[in-house]
Structure formats: C-alpha cells, structure tokens
C-alpha cells in the first residue's frame, strides 16, 4: 500500500539521518559539521515524507513486487553466486550461475541453457582474461588439480 510504504520509507530515512548526525558529532571541526547538517536535513525530509503519507486522505495501491516468488529466487541465486565467486573461482561460479538461474526460474530447455552458458563463458574468457588480461578470482578446480599433481 502506498501510504504504508511511504511511512516506512520516511521512518527509515529518519533513522539514517539521526544515526549520521549523531555519528558526525564525534568528528572534529568542519569535517563533522557538514555530515551533521546533512544528517539533520535527511531526518527532516524523511519525517516530511512520513507525515505527508500519514495525512494523505486516500490510499492508492502500489504494487511493491510483481512476482514475489521469482524475485526471491533471483535474489537468492544472485546472493549465492556472489558468495561462491571467491571460493569456487569466477569461471566455475559463473558457469553454474548461467545454468542454475534459468532453471530456478522455470526454464526447462537444459541443452539450450548449456549452449548459451558455453558460448557466453567462452566470450567472457576471451574478452576479460585473454584480451583485457583482467585478474579474476582463481578457480578452485585448478588449485585442486595442481595440489593433486
């Protein structure tokens, strides 16, 4: 609901503003004054949004999430991917993501997803590792192989 969303939004920003202003009191001289003023202004603006929403006579519905299940899946898979990029290595985690995300979202053409994953990851490798020579998180599988060897 629009009204409730705006009240929550306003209150969140009141909280951020108060926290910033309070934290800034620990800083010396002008380096503290500026963020303190900003914190207070943010508090004021947040309160204005919340009060405006409270005083609004009608509540116009506003959808916050269109497809909650799909959104939660996408957020969860994205979070797991970021968590795995360092331990598994960039290419391994990314390859798994290209396969897992569409499947988790209901895509059932595994061969199609596999082809896209292979083509896309090859392109990423060519561009970032060969052409641009960007250092990316090391592959766990390579470390295992080198230890084994």
Partner 1 sequence: MEFYTNALSHVLTFGPLTAMIGATLLGVFIGALPGLNPVMAIALLLPLTYSMDPLVALAMVAGIYNGSMYGGAIPAILLRIPGTPASIATTFDGFPMADRGEAAKALKIACWSSAIGGIASAIALMTMGPMLARVTLFFGPAEYFWIAIFGMASVAVMVGSDPVKGMMAAVLGLLIGTMGIDNLSGQARFTFGQTWLLGGLDLIVVLVGLYALPPVLQLAEKCDLKGLSAAQLKLADAPFEEGEIRGLIPTWLRASGIGIGVGILPGAGGNIAAFLSYNAAKNASDDPSSFGKGNPQGVAAAECGNNADNAASMIPALALGIPGNVVAALVLSALTIHGLQPGPQLFHQNPTLVGGFMMEMLITSVLIFALGGAVATRVFAQFQRLPGVLLVPTILILMCVGVYVINGRPVDLWVMLIAGFAGYFLEKVNFPLAPVILGMILGPMAEQSVRRALLISRGDPTDLVTRPISAVLAVVTVLVIIWPLVKMMRRRRRAN
Q: Which residues bind partner 1 (CB under 8 A)?
A: 5-6, 9, 13, 16, 20, 23-24, 27-32, 34-35, 38-39, 41-42, 45-46, 48-49, 52, 62-67, 70-71, 73-75, 77-79, 81-82, 85-86, 90, 94, 97-98, 100-102, 105-107, 112-113, 116, 120, 124, 128, 132, 134-137
CB of 148 to partner 1, least distance (A): 26
CB of 88 to partner 1, least distance (A): 12
- Whether residue 90 contacts residue 139, with contact meaning beta carbons closer than 8 Å, is answered with yes
User: Rounded distance, CA 100 to CA 77, Å?
Assistant: 8
Token output for 69: 């299940």
CB of 61 to partner 1, least distance (A): 13
Residues 6+ apart with CB under 8 A from 5: 53, 62, 64
**Judged by CB, which is closer to partner 1: 48, or 144?**
48
CB of 120 to partner 1, least distance (A): 5
Q: Of 84, 81, 94, nearest to 128 (Cα)?
A: 94
Token output for 135: 């250092």
CB of 147 to partner 1, least distance (A): 22
**Judged by CB, which is closer to partner 1: 85, or 140?**
85
**Judged by CB, which is closer to partner 1: 133, or 149?**
133
User: Rounded distance, CA 90 to CA 37, Å?
Assistant: 43
Q: Would residue 107 be called left, alpha or beta, if left means φ above 0 and alpha means ψ between -120 and 50 degrees?
A: beta
């Amino acid at each position: 609901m629009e009204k409730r969303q705006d009240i929550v939004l306003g209150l969140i920003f009141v909280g951020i503003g108060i926290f910033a202003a309070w934290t800034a009191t620990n800083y010396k001289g002008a380096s503290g004054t500026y963020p303190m003023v900003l914190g207070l202004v943010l508090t004021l603006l947040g309160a204005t949004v919340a009060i405006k929403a409270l005083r609004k006579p009608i509540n116009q519905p506003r959808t916050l999430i269109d497809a909650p299940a799909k959104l939660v899946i996408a957020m969860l898979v994205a979070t797991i991917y970021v968590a795995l990029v360092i331990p598994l290595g960039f290419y391994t985690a990314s390859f798994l993501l290209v396969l897992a995300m569409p499947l988790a979202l209901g895509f059932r053409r595994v061969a199609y997803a596999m082809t896209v994953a292979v083509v896309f990851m090859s392109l990423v490798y060519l561009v970032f590792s060969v052409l641009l020579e960007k250092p990316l998180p090391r592959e766990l599988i390579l470390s295992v192989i080198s230890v084994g060897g």
